[in-house]
Each structure stands twice: as C-alpha cells, then as structure tokens.
Chains A and B, each alone.
Chain A
Amino acid sequence: MHPIAERIGSHLPQAFVAEAESFGELTISVRREHILEVCRLLHDDPELSFDLIIDICSVDFPNEPERFEMIYHLCSIDRRQRIRIKARVPEEDCSIDSITPIWKGANFLEREVYDMMGIRFKGHPDLRRILMTEDYDEGFPLRKDFPVEGKGWRDRFEFFPQDEP
C-alpha cells in the first residue's frame, strides 16, 4: 500500500474506500461525505502538503448504481507528487461538499462541473452556470443522455428575415 494511502487510511479510516496505482499514478477513492476532511488532511498535513489544485472533473456512468464520479487532481510542489482522489455521487442525492474553503481555485472548477454535469456543491459561494448561459434549462450537456447535437436550442432562436427590395 502506498504510504499516502496508508496515511489517509490511518487518519480517516471511515473515509477510505480503495486505492489503485496504474501508469505511475496514485488514485484513492473516498466516500463523498468525508471529501472535505480528506482534502483538508491532504492540504494541511506537512508530510503530504498537496497545495496545488490541478483539476476537478466528473465522469458519468449511467449504468452504475452511483452514477457520477467526482475526480480531484492535486499536486504537491515540494514533494513533486501527484494524486487523484475519486468520490462517487449517486444520482438521487446529486451533491457533494465544496472544497472552496481549502482551495480558492476550486470555485470556477466546481461551477463548471455543476454546469456540465449537474452535481451540486454544498457550501459553494456562487454556484451558477459558467460556460452555458445562466438561464439554460435544457439539462446538463456532458451527461451521457444529452445528445451531442444538442436539443435544438439554436433552432428556436428568433429569426428576422431580410425584407425583399
């Protein structure tokens, strides 16, 4: 077991689900209720010191019981170490704690996850759509049940025909 996974396992045993290592990258799955504690541990602990937030994204698995997977990529500048934290979010209660108290850069990233996938973040200071327009009501584009061609939003734009001379 990787020392980082051991550390999380010993400090927060209720949060730890699984650990995997592939392509030289460490992936740790945690329970979504404890994501804030896990991230705080990773950020504050002097042994781990994952201070740079790289990315927050989400994947949609429509056939699995817990539909969405939140993926956090972190990096420790001093230790030159990268890590991936995963947490599953079910469709019925589609929300997870926001980690903006720890990393301010998570603000825009979580807004984009909300915009594209529909996962709500509890405690986010300003949760609204960022890439789509704010009143876009046709769903969440990156979900697998959203067609790639879109749902005809642009077909319903008002069309002003030119007057014939």
Chain B
Amino acid sequence: MEQQSGEREVPIASGEDAEDDLDDEVGHDPDKKVRRTEDLLLNMGPQHPATHGVLRIILDLEGETIVKATPDLGYLHRGVEKLCENSTYTQIIPLTDRLDYVCAMTNNYAFVRAVEKLLKIAIPERAEYIRTIVAEVQRLAGHLFWLGTQALDIGAMTVFFYTFREREVLLDLFELICGARLTLSYYRIGGVDRDLSREVIERLYKFIESFPGKIHEYNTLLEKNRIWLLRTRNVAVISAEDAINFGLTGPVLRGSGVNYDVRKAEPYGAYDKVEWEVPLGKNGDTYDRYWIRVEEMRQSAKIIKQCLDRLPEGPVIADLPEVVYPPRDKIYEDMESLIHQFMIAARGFDVPAGEVYVGTEAPKGELGFYIHSQGGNKPYRLRIRPPSFIHLGAFDHMARGYMISDVVTIFGTYDVVMGECDR
C-alpha cells in the first residue's frame, strides 16, 4: 500500500488528541492545524487469488470508493503473435489452445475457420456437427468455470464445488474425445482429428439429460439469494452505447441489451441448422450478465442435444491430400500417401496469398483471427483479436464510483482470462 499525492488541505478545529496525531503526521509545521485527506493508491498486485490469472490493478481510492482503476497488463505476455509468424499453420493450433486456456476448443475453432477461409475448402457435414457439439460443450465448461469462480469470489463457496463437479464430467469427456483435458488441439484444418466414439455420444446424452436439474440446483442457491442480489444488482452497470463504443462483445454486450451474437449474425458450423435463442439482458449490470451466462448454458445444452440427434454419417476431415494427412492404413501401403504425410508434417502446406478476418463467438466474446498470408507455409502476420484485452479497456469506466469490495465482482463479471488478454 502506498500513500500518494492527491492531497486536499481542509482546515478544521481539531481537539487535543487529534493535534498530537496530526503533529506526527504533518511534521513540517506544528503550529498549523489542518486535517488532510489523501487519495489512497492501492496496488492489487499480480499475485492475488481473485484476479483470474496475473493482472495488476492500480486502484485510486477515496476511502472505500474507487476514483480510478488502472489495469496493468502484460504479465502473461508470451509473444504468441511473433511465434505464429515462425510456425506452420498446423503448428499454430496448439499455440491457440493456450490463449484462453479455459476454453481451448473455441480458440482452435476460431483459428481453423480463418485458415479454411483462406484456403477456400469445404468441411464435411459430420465434421461441422461435431465441431459445433464440441464447441458448445466447451462453452458449457467455460461458463461453469466462470460461475464457480465468480460465486467463490463473492463468497458463495458451495456453487464453486457444484459447478466444478459438472466440469469434471465434461473434462473427462474431453479426455475420451481427444486425449487431453485442458489444452485440447482437437481441431485440424479441414475438420477434426478423430471421430466421436459411441461411448462419448452416450455419455454426452446422459449428461444433457441431467444438466437442467443441475442448473436448477445452482439457481436455488443464487438466483433469488438476497446477498447475491445485493452484491450483483446495479453493480458495474454499462449502457448499450458505451458497451458498443468500447468494442465489447459476447455476454458483456448482450447484458446491456444489444442483440449481437456472431453465431446468429454470421452463422457457421451447424448453428443455423438447429433452434436456439440468444438471451438478452436489460440493465447492463452484473446480475444480468450472470443470468445471461446461465441461460446460455441452457441454450448450449439445447444445441448439443439437437446436433446429437441429427448427427450425419460421413468423414470427419476433408479429403485434401495437400492439406490433410491421409488415413493411417494408406500411409503404410501407398507411396503417394507417404510422401504427402511427410511433406505436410515436415514442411506444412502452402496457403495462397491474401488476408482474412474471421470472428467466432467464444464464451468470452468475439475471438477474431486476422491472417495476412503472402503465400508460403507460415503466415506473414497473424493477429489475434482478444475479447478479454478489449474488455479490460472498459474496466476503468465500469469500476468508477463503486466500492473496493466490488472490484472482484466487476473483474469476475467480465470473465477475463489473462492468457487471452496478454497472449
């Protein structure tokens, strides 16, 4: 804690005890009786249990009220964009996993869509449905994580245990699907890595059957809880115009009533083939954003069920020998397949020159990839549009005027993950 400038001299008639204290504090002129108030500059340091990841916030406080909140980023900056300029397109997929490490599938999806737009390749239908299913399962996992940590930060510890119990089921499912729990790298350019097995589909059905009951369970703890309402209603309010002006997207923007969801505005995957709705908030406060994310979980479950019902047969990756590995058995038998596999693994594939920007609806907001290619097997410039970084730009605006205990609430309602923010 540091005492800093921002002094205001307020002359008062001080009593005897106050005089002694003031003399020690003021020091320079013992005859002058003034009481000074100063703004307190509090450093909410990079190591803190409630800032999700490493974030430093410099709080300018007047008593308990926040006058200014400056986020200081960059503690998790790994230079991903520079690394991508020196990696082939398939090598970039694991790098994208580690951006928003809570929701790896949607990061992969966002990147792979951008490259496929540049290559102008068509994805088989089964692959589209699987991609949508898996992305929505990831959205469920991401929102469960968010709900648990937001409730934990505010003080409702039970919700944390309940949501992480569900998240464990989903992470086990991911392990069955692709072998990893957190940094998944399941998507490939042209489709997905491998098919969903019978066991995965059965388990997913079972989970979706039980899920509405679980959401009901979380709601009984939170939705009408008086403490929760007091701590989230009218906290961190942002109006629709301000939200659009700051460039916010995702549940934060929809909390203020703006109907903009990339899955509905520019449909991709199987989102336009199933029925679902976009939940919208009214007041733009924390409670609305909480409600929207819970509703999004319900809608995700609905999307997953419909996609599972309609899952078509077919290959799960496009049939392009230049870009996609040939099937394993052919590699062992066929010379051409062996050569293609070697070339793709050793050199990568060439992507035509051009530039694209593709935005995808990640659980945090619109995750966009801008790829500028000049031919060749590595991108010339890869830019990641991180929703968390842009949301932190509005942190100061959203936090002013609230109390210091609201900082954690405000920070949680943005659903910021520092991996994506700093890249």
> A residues bordering B, Cβ < 8 Å?
22-23, 25, 27, 51-55, 57, 59-60, 71, 73, 77, 80, 82, 84, 103-109, 112, 116, 129-133, 141-142, 146, 148
CB distance from B114 to the nearest CB of A (A): 10
Q: How far is the CA of A133 from the CA of B422 in the complex (A)?
A: 12
Is B244 touching A142 in the complex (CB atoms < 8 A)?
Answer: no
Of B25-33, B41-49, B377-385, the one contacting chain A is B377-385
Chain B residue with the shortest CB-CB distance to A53: B247
Chain B residue with the shortest CB-CB distance to A115: B74
Which residues from chain B contact A57 at a C-beta distance below 8 Å? 370, 381, 383
Q: How far is the CA of A29 from the CA of B385 in the complex (A)?
A: 21
Is A148 touching B380 in the complex (CB atoms < 8 A)?
Answer: no
Q: How far is the CA of A112 from the CA of B73 in the complex (A)?
A: 11
Which residues from chain A contact B356 at a C-beta distance below 8 Å? 23, 25
- Mind listing 21 A-B residue pairs with CB under 8 Å? A23-B120, A25-B357, A57-B381, A71-B370, A71-B383, A80-B266, A84-B357, A103-B247, A104-B393, A104-B397, A105-B248, A107-B393, A108-B389, A109-B247, A116-B81, A131-B77, A132-B77, A141-B82, A146-B82, A148-B79, A148-B82
Q: Is B117 an interface residue (CB 8 A)?
A: yes
CB distance from B221 to the nearest CB of A (A): 35
CB distance from A115 to the nearest CB of B (A): 8
Q: Known contacts A130-B73, A142-B81: does B370 contact A55 (CB below 8 Å)?
A: yes
Interface bracket on B: 35 or more
- Would you list which residues of chain B between 372 and 392 have a CB under 8 Å from chain A? 372, 380-381, 383, 385, 389-390, 392
Is B357 touching A82 in the complex (CB atoms < 8 A)?
Answer: yes
Main secondary structure of the interface of B (DSSP, over half): mixed
Q: How far is the CA of A148 from the CA of B385 in the complex (A)?
A: 21
Q: How far is the CA of A71 from the CA of B368 in the complex (A)?
A: 14
Q: How far is the CA of A109 from the CA of B356 in the complex (A)?
A: 19
Q: Known contacts A59-B372, A148-B83: does B357 contact A105 (CB below 8 Å)?
A: no
| Proximity bits, B230-263, A CB within 8 Å = 1, else 0 | 0000000000001011111100000000101000
